[in-house]
Structure 1
Amino acid sequence: MHDIRAIRETPEAFDAALARRGVAPTAATVLEIDAARRAAIGQAETEKAAQNAASKQVGAAKAKGDEAEFERLRALVAEKKAELARLDEVARAKDAELTALLATLPNLPLATVPDGADEADNVELHRWGSPRDFDFAPKEHFEIAGIARDMDFALAAKLSGSRFVVLRGAVARVHRALAQFMTDLHVDHHGLTEVNSPVLVRDEAMFGTGQLPKFAEDSYQTTNGWWLIPTSEVTLTNFAAGEVLDGAALPVRFCAHTLCFRSEAGSAGRDTTGMLRQHQFEKVEMVSITRPEDSLAEHDRMTRCAEEVLEALELPYRTIALCTGDMGFGAQKTHDIEVWLPGQTAYREISSVSTCGDFQARRMNARFRPEPGAKPDFVHTLNGSGVAVGRCLIAVLENGQTAEGGVELPAALHRYLGGKTRITSEGALA
């Protein structure tokens, strides 16, 4: 949500920032609604003062026995009361209209974010690792002999439809090991607090992180009104909703391994084979809540936390800065990390790390007190994948595949697999 005072003070700057995100000028419309709302509030205050004054005079007229003046003043009080009710309703309607409009406007990009229309304009920051030289044509994950039998899309389709998968045996165990490895790394080495949080949330939680109202079609809602989370960013960030945190306790850093659910409404026809883009998937999410002055440094820190997952798993990757046209709705700056997939001969997104400034905090009224007795200010919120478990599984399988159809597994996973180091071409751990 945007600060209406900032829009009043610098409407041209607000429109210029929105234009960088491809959004038409909006400040004039916002300020027109705001002016009508403030005018109604001001008129209501005037009417209230007149009503109070007339109310006091009613008693005096009655005491004097001036029946005509008494009736006139009583009628005036009734008139003012009715007008006050009308103005209050106008103010409430304009306030709702203003909130609804502001709720659909994306966050403003930081000055350092590169301009651009789409992913073609993103800027590569650095690369780590070198793609492996294969002496055979590498396959995609679902084509590897030791994996194909136990990565069952047909069975999942029978149960649930398209964009689901059933994992069995060794591949299911490696998937579980990856999630545990990531969580342990973030807790033991990165200092995040592990959380087990719900996957069903209320409207308010989805609104607070920006999924509602604009992106309702991208999520699933139950018949009794709960929403299935698209990521545990929703739950973890909303821990601060409606709170005034102790500034001395910031930053707070969380991670959670959860199921995630997305309708993929805008991705028809994209990545329809394999398990790259699923309706149900697992992710280890990171969320930080910081003081405003610390959020950019925290963004870099969180990016490194995600990068270190891939480095530990010996997976080549590149980190890019998203341009203004490719950033998510609530972000003011985003780094994407793309892992190398030899089966596609391409880098594909495996983590997205964003700082949202006070955009989410304003929506959920999440504040902190800089020091005892000081006026509360809005916190800054950040979120990032640390990382997507299914996509990480794809990368491990494709980068470690052998000519015989097996997979050599990264050393970091061996202790999570009882000392096993590979998946054979028959699909067994060995």
Structure 2
Amino acid sequence: MHDLRALRSEPDAFDAALKRRGLPPQSAEILAEDKVRRDALTALQAHQNRRKNLARDIGQAKRQGQDSTALEAEATQLRDEMAALEARAEAANRRVTALLENLPNILDASVPEGQDETDNVVVKQVGAVRAFAFTPLQHFELGEKLAAMDFPTAAKLAGARFTVLRGALARLERALGQFMLDMHVTHGGYQEMSVPLLVNDAAMYGTDKLPKFAEDSFRTEDGRWLIPTAEVPLTASVAGEIIDRDQLPLRMVALSPCFRSEAGSAGRDVRGMLRQHQFTKVELVSVTLPEESAAEHERMTRCAETILERLGIPYRRVLLCAGDTGFGAAKTYDLEGWLPGQNAWREISSCSNTRDFQARRMNARYRAEKGPEHVHTLNGSGLAVGRTLIAVLENYQNEDGSVEIPEVLHPYMGGVTRLT
């Protein structure tokens, strides 16, 4: 959510920021509705003061035996007008909120201009891309050769975009999640959390998933939502709180199933595990002081990079351009892992600084010297477990279809060092 006071003081800057997102000016319409609301509230206050004085005058007239009929009629009229003013203010406030809640975050000045992913900027590339003496297979081809990745059974159980993993491959997925958690807790200083997989409207709204992205999520018949990522319950855990300054930053991590309807991605990555309705992810969330969020963004991204480096997966850090930065983010780094089977770089993590955008929606604040101020929130994948599994399969494959297990995962695999 945007700061309405800032919009009032600098409407041209607000419109210029939206223009970077490819959106038309919005400030005039918002401020017009805001004026209706403020004018109604000002009139309401004047009516309240007049009605208070009338109550005093009516009482005095009655005590002195004077006729108070005219005063009482005016009081009745004021009551009716006050009800109308309250309704007008509330309606204008709803219209202002509806306009603001559907507008994306203001981009950081360092975000490059651009329309889509082709305009993103590669910040760095780490790790040597392996030269294969054979044509590398894609992950689903390897999974099927290993008889460990079963799409027909998943389709029978749940339909398209689901996967059943078997045996050592299922254990490898679990090993990756446990390894990531251990790294982030032991070396990254994150507190491990176990969170609900079902959340209410307030949690989804506060983390900017509602109302704009309702169609991309699954909703239960009782009105709750399956989490699209653990970002939602982790970040919403501070909703409505006023946090002591010395408690910040808060750093939280959770390994959870995630659920997405992928309504906006029909036809994309239909083969394999790249784009699923259900997947597992390690989510990183930080809650910080405003002046520390930029440094925290770099720190969080570095924590995610460390996982890829320890696994020996070549990757590159990409700064998303204006047209590709997500709705709630002020700035986003994507980490793209190299997939030799696809001969392509594919997103394996996304780390975003939302600044106070989410905090305003959920009213999450800290105790500042001059009174409570909104915190900044950040979120990132540390990493997407399924996509990391894909990267391991494709980068560590052998010509016979077997797959070596990265050494750092050996302690999690019960002695298994190769998938055959």
Match of 2:358 in 1: 360
On the 8 A contact 2:195/2:234 being kept in 1, the answer is: yes
On the 8 A contact 1:146/1:407 being kept in 2, the answer is: no
1:174 and 2:200 matched: no
Match of 1:398 in 2: 394
Shift of residue 148 of structure 1? Answer: 4.6
Match of 1:420 in 2: 416
What secondary structure sits across from 1:190 in the alignment? coil
Once residues 59 and 237 of structure 2 are traced to their aligned partners in structure 1, the CA distance between those partners, rounded to angstroms, is 53
On the 8 A contact 1:248/1:370 being kept in 2, the answer is: no
On the 8 A contact 2:146/2:402 being kept in 1, the answer is: no
Q: Which residues in structure 2 correspond to 1:228-267 (within 5 Å)?
A: 228-267=226-265
Q: Which residues in structure 2 correspond to 1:312-327 (within 5 Å)?
A: 312-327=310-325
Match of 2:186 in 1: 188
Shift of residue 419 of structure 1? Answer: 2.7
Once residues 257 and 415 of structure 2 are traced to their aligned partners in structure 1, the CA distance between those partners, rounded to angstroms, is 27
Shift of residue 93 of structure 1? Answer: 1.0
Match of 1:428 in 2: none
Once residues 388 and 130 of structure 1 are traced to their aligned partners in structure 2, the CA distance between those partners, rounded to angstroms, is 21
Match of 1:379 in 2: 375
Match of 1:389 in 2: 385
Q: Match for 1:139: what amino acid?
A: L
On the 8 A contact 1:146/1:423 being kept in 2, the answer is: no
Ranges of 4+ aligned residues in structure 1 off by more than 6 Å: none
Q: Match for 2:203: what amino acid?
A: A
On the 8 A contact 1:163/1:277 being kept in 2, the answer is: yes
Q: Match for 2:310: what amino acid?
A: A
On the 8 A contact 2:140/2:272 being kept in 1, the answer is: yes
What secondary structure sits across from 1:368 in the alignment? strand
On the 8 A contact 1:354/1:382 being kept in 2, the answer is: yes
Of all paired residues, the percent bearing the same amino acid is 56
Match of 1:139 in 2: 137
2:407 counterpart (403, 406, 411): 411
What secondary structure sits across from 2:338 in the alignment? strand
Q: Match for 2:210: what amino acid?
A: L
Q: How many residues of Structure 1 are paired with residues of Structure 2 in the alignment?
A: 420
Q: Match for 2:408: what amino acid?
A: A
1:150 counterpart (136, 148, 163): 148
Once residues 144 and 268 of structure 2 are traced to their aligned partners in structure 1, the CA distance between those partners, rounded to angstroms, is 26
Match of 1:55 in 2: 55
Once residues 148 and 280 of structure 1 are traced to their aligned partners in structure 2, the CA distance between those partners, rounded to angstroms, is 22
Once residues 15 and 362 of structure 1 are traced to their aligned partners in structure 2, the CA distance between those partners, rounded to angstroms, is 20
Normalising to structure 2: TM-score of the pair? 0.99
On the 8 A contact 1:142/1:148 being kept in 2, the answer is: no
Once residues 385 and 263 of structure 1 are traced to their aligned partners in structure 2, the CA distance between those partners, rounded to angstroms, is 19
Once residues 90 and 9 of structure 1 are traced to their aligned partners in structure 2, the CA distance between those partners, rounded to angstroms, is 24
1:119 and 2:87 matched: no
Q: Match for 2:274: what amino acid?
A: L
On the 8 A contact 1:2/1:107 being kept in 2, the answer is: yes
Distance 1:50 1:370, change over 3 A: closer
What secondary structure sits across from 2:237 in the alignment? helix
What secondary structure sits across from 1:308 in the alignment? helix
Shift of residue 421 of structure 1? Answer: 1.1
Q: Match for 2:277: what amino acid?
A: H
Structure 1: any 5+ residue segments left out of the alignment? Answer: 425-430
